C-alpha cells in the first residue's frame, strides 16, 4: 500500500460517480476543486488546463471514458459503443502532444474490446481507471527511488514547468524524484523557472514545493543561463510529455534551451517519465507541437502586457534531442545513451 | 539636421523648464507622458522604470542635473556646488549597472569644473544636456547606417528587451539598426522576446515596432531555442548597458542565454551601443549586477502569479562573454574579435 504524506496534494480523485480535480487555473492564490460529472466536463478541464501534466491528463482521460460509460442510458451495445467512441474522440482531441492521453484511452478500449455486457463493461472501465490512478502514484514512487541516488546532500536542482503532484495523480515525476531525495534524508534546494507563458513554475511548482516545505526559489525564464553560470545549479530535472524510441523528448516549451544551457555549463540534465510516456512508433517529424492561443502571451489575468493585435508565436512544447540528455529515469530503471539501445532494452 | 519620421516616439523632450518623459510603465495600453520638474522627479522616474534603457537613462540624468541647477535659489557658489553634488549622488544611485548614467553625469560635471558664475553654469549645464539629447539621436542614426549592411532583404531578426526609441531619446540602438535596414529598402521581420520579468519586449518593443509598421512577432522567453532551431532566425541584435574593454557585454537578463543559443545554432549575434556605453576601466568582477524587487516576478499588475512569500532570484542584467559576440556596432564603426584590440583601436 502506497503511503502518502498528509500534505501531498491529490490532483485527481474519484468520488463514487464524479471526478474531483484541483483547479490549477486558480493556483497559487486559491486551492479549489472542480467536479466533472461528464466526459465533456473532463475534456473541458483538460482543454482549459484545469488539469495538465502528461500523466495527470492520461488518468483524467481514463475517468472521462468511465463517466461516459456510467452516464450512458442505453442498453443497446451498438449505441453504447458509438457513445464511447464519441467520448474517446472528444477527449483525444483536447491536446495533441502528450502521448499519455492516447495511451490511457487506448488502454481502456483494449480492456473492453471483446466484452458484450454493458453493465459489466461499465464496471471494467471504472476499475481500469481506478487502477491507473493507483498505478500512477506507485510508478512515481518507483521513479523517485530509482532517481534519488543521482543526487547528493546539499545539491541545488533546477526544474522547469511543473512535473510534480500537480502533473500526476500525486507525488510527481521530476518533483517525485526531488521528494524521494528529501525523504532519503538529503538536504536539497530547488530552483524553479517561471515557465512562461502559462507560468506552471510560478503558479504550480513554487506552490507545491512550498506546500511541503521543500526549499524553492523562483527565477524568470531569462535568468536560467546567468544562474547556471554562477555555478549553483548541480542538476537539471524535468518531466516529459512524449519520449521517442530514439530518446527525443517532447516537453514544455523552454525545455530544449534549458538542455542546451545545461550542456554548455556541464550540468547533468535528467528527464523523469513513466513507461506510458514512451512512444516507440513515431519519429520526431510525426509529432504535432501544439500551438496555443496568443492570449496566453498578451494577457495575464486582466492585465494586457502586449499590444492586443500583435503577432504571437506560442508553441506549448519543444523537442530536446538525445545528445543533450544525461539520463532518463523511469519506473523500470534508469536509461543512458545510446538511447535507441537502452530504451529498447527496458521497454521491450 | 536630423530628420525624424513623424511616427517616431520621442522618449525624452525638454520643454523650457521641465522634462517630459513617455511613461513606459503604462505601455502598451496607454501612451502617456510625465513631467519632471525637479531632479528628484527624474531620479524617481529612473528608479521606477518610467524611463529605462542605458542611453535614455544617461540623457534623462543630464536633464536631472540641469533641473537641479535651474531650480537652485542660491547665489553662493559653495551652496550651489553642494546642491549639485547632492543631485549627482541621488541620480547616480538609482541604477548601478548601466554605465551611461555615470558617463552623462560626469560629462556635465567635467564641463562646469572651472566655472564660477552661477547663471553661466546653469546655462552651460542645460546646453550640454540638450546637446547630449541631440547627439543621442545622431549617434543612433550613425549606428543604424553602420549596421544596416549586415542584413539582407527578407531577413528575420531576433531582439531582446527594448533597445529602441524607448531606450534612447529616439530612434534606438538595436532597433535603430532595424529601422535603418528598413529605410534602406530591405524587407525585414522582427521576433521580439517578451523579456520577463519587466516585459520590455512585449510592452515596449512590440508596441514601438507596430507603431511604425515594422513587422514584429512576439515570443515567450522560453521559445527562443525552439524558434532558433526552426531556422527562421537569421540574426540576433541587442543593445547594451555596459561594454568592457575586453568585449564583455552587460545587458538585460536573458541576453547571455540568447547569445549561447545563437552560437549553438550558428546565428550571428550583434550588440549595438554608442561609445558612451563603453567602460574601459573596469573588469567583469567589478560590475554590480542590479538585483530588483521580487515583486516584479510575483505580481503582474494586480495578478499574483506566484506564492507571495516565495524566494525569488531577480537579477536585472547578465554578462555575455566576447566569444559569443559576432560584432559590436557603434557610431564610430563596427568592431570584431579580438575585442581587446579592436575596441582599443576605435575608442582610443
Q: Is the ipTM of this complex over 0.90?
A: yes
Question: Which residues in chain B touch residue A301, judged by CB atoms under 8 angstroms apart?
Answer: 300-303
> Do B320 and B243 touch, CB atoms closer than 8 A?
no
Tens of pLDDT, residue by residue over A58-88, are 999 999 999 999 999 999 999 999 999 999 9
Hey, is the C-beta of A230 within 8 angstroms of any chain B C-beta? no
Tell whether the model's pLDDT for residue B302 goes beyond 90: no
Residue A6's pLDDT is 67
Give me the mean pLDDT over the A310-316 stretch: 98
Give me the mean pLDDT over the B51-70 stretch: 97
Give me the mean pLDDT over the A149-177 stretch: 97
Tell whether the model's pLDDT for residue B3 goes beyond 60: no
Tens of pLDDT, residue by residue over B247-289, are 999 999 999 999 999 999 999 999 999 999 999 999 999 999 9
Tens of pLDDT, residue by residue over B89-101, are 999 999 988 899 9
Give B319's strand partners: B250
Give me the mean pLDDT over the A48-53 stretch: 96
Hey, is the C-beta of A109 within 8 angstroms of any chain B C-beta? no
Residue B291's pLDDT is 96
Tell whether the model's pLDDT for residue A1 goes beyond 50: no
Helix (H) or strand (E) holding A319: strand A317-320
Confidence of residue B301 (pLDDT cuts 50, 70, 90): confident
Residue A336's pLDDT is 98
Shortest Cα distance from A65 to chain B (angstroms)?
A: 33
Residue B268's pLDDT is 98
Residue B28: asked if its preceding bond is cis (omega within 30°), the reply is yes
HSE-CB at A133 with a 13 A cutoff on CA atoms is 22
What pTM did the predictor assign? 0.95
- Nearest Cα neighbor of B222 from B246, B263, B254 is B254
Per-residue cell: A37: 460529472
Per-residue cell: A270: 535528467
> Do A176 and A168 touch, CB atoms closer than 8 A?
yes
Mutate: best of A223, A227, A229, A302, partner B, most B CBs <10 A: A223
Tens of pLDDT, residue by residue over A140-160, are 999 999 999 999 999 999 999
Q: Calculate what percentage of chain B has a pLDDT beyond 90.
A: 95
- Nearest Cα neighbor of B201 from B232, B240, B164, B148 is B164
Shortest Cα distance from A74 to chain B (angstroms)?
A: 46
Residue A128's pLDDT is 98
**A249-252 and A317-320: which strand pairing?**
antiparallel
Hey, is the C-beta of A161 within 8 angstroms of any chain B C-beta? no
- Catalytic residue list of A: 241
Taking the CA atoms of residue A78, residue A79, residue A80 and residue A85 in that order, the dihedral angle to the nearest 10 degrees is 90
Shortest Cα distance from A344 to chain B (angstroms)?
A: 27
Tens of pLDDT, residue by residue over A90-113, are 999 999 888 999 999 999 999 999
d(CA A83, CA B133): 71
Confidence of residue A245 (pLDDT cuts 50, 70, 90): very high
Confidence of residue A115 (pLDDT cuts 50, 70, 90): very high
d(CA A144, CA A141): 5
Per-residue cell: A346: 527496458
Hey, is the C-beta of A253 within 8 angstroms of any chain B C-beta? yes
Give me the mean pLDDT over the B145-150 stretch: 97
Classified as helix, coil or strand, A334 is strand
Average pLDDT, chain A: 96
Tens of pLDDT, residue by residue over A253-277, are 999 999 999 999 999 999 999 999 9
Amino acid at each position: 500500500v502506497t503511503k502518502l504524506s498528509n500534505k501531498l496534494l491529490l490532483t485527481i480523485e474519484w468520488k463514487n460517480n464524479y471526478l474531483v480535480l484541483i483547479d490549477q487555473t486558480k493556483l497559487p492564490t486559491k486551492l479549489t476543486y472542480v467536479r466533472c460529472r461528464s466526459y465533456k466536463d473532463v475534456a473541458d478541464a483538460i482543454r482549459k488546463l484545469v488539469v495538465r501534466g502528461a500523466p495527470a491528463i492520461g488518468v483524467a482521460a481514463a475517468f472521462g471514458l468511465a463517466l461516459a460509460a456510467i452516464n450512458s442510458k442505453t442498453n443497446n451495445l451498438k449505441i453504447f459503443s458509438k457513445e464511447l467512441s464519441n467520448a474517446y474522440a472528444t477527449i483525444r482531441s483536447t491536446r495533441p502532444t502528450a502521448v499519455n492521453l492516447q495511451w490511457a484511452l487506448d488502454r481502456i478500449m483494449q480492456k473492453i474490446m471483446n466484452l458484450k455486457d454493458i453493465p459489466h463493461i461499465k464496471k471494467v472501465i471504472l476499475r481500469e481507471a481506478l487502477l491507473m490512478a493507483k498505478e500512477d502514484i506507485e510508478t512515481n514512487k518507483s521513479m523517485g527511488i530509482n532517481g534519488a541516488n543521482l543526487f547528493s546532500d546539499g545539491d541545488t536542482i533546477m526544474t522547469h514547468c511543473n512535473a510534480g503532484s500537480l502533473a500526476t495523480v500525486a507525488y510527481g515525476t521530476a518533483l517525485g524524484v526531488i521528494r524521494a531525495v528529501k525523504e532519503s534524508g538529503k538536504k536539497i534546494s530547488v530552483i524553479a523557472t517561471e515557465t512562461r507563458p502559462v507560468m506552471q513554475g510560478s503558479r504550480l511548482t513554487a506552490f507545491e514545493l512550498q506546500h511541503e516545505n521543500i526549499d524553492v526559489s523562483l527565477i524568470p525564464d531569462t535568468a536560467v543561463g546567468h544562474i547556471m553560470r554562477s555555478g549553483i545549479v548541480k542538476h537539471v530535472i524535468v518531466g516529459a510529455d512524449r519520449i521517442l524510441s530514439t530518446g527525443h523528448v517532447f516537453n514544455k516549451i523552454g525545455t530544449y534551451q534549458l538542455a542546451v544551457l545545461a550542456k554548455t555549463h556541464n550540468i547533468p540534465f535528467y528527464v523523469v517519465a513513466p513507461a506510458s510516456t514512451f512512444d516507440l512508433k513515431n519519429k520526431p517529424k510525426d509529432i504535432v507541437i501544439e500551438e496555443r492561443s496568443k492570449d496566453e502571451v498578451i494577457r495575464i489575468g486582466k492585465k494586457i502586457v502586449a499590444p492586443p493585435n500583435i503577432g504571437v508565436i506560442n508553441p506549448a512544447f519543444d523537442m530536446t534531442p538525445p545528445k543533450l540528455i544525461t539520463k532518463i529515469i523511469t519506473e523500470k530503471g534508469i536509461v543512458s545513451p545510446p538511447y535507441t539501445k537502452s530504451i529498447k532494452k527496458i521497454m521491450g
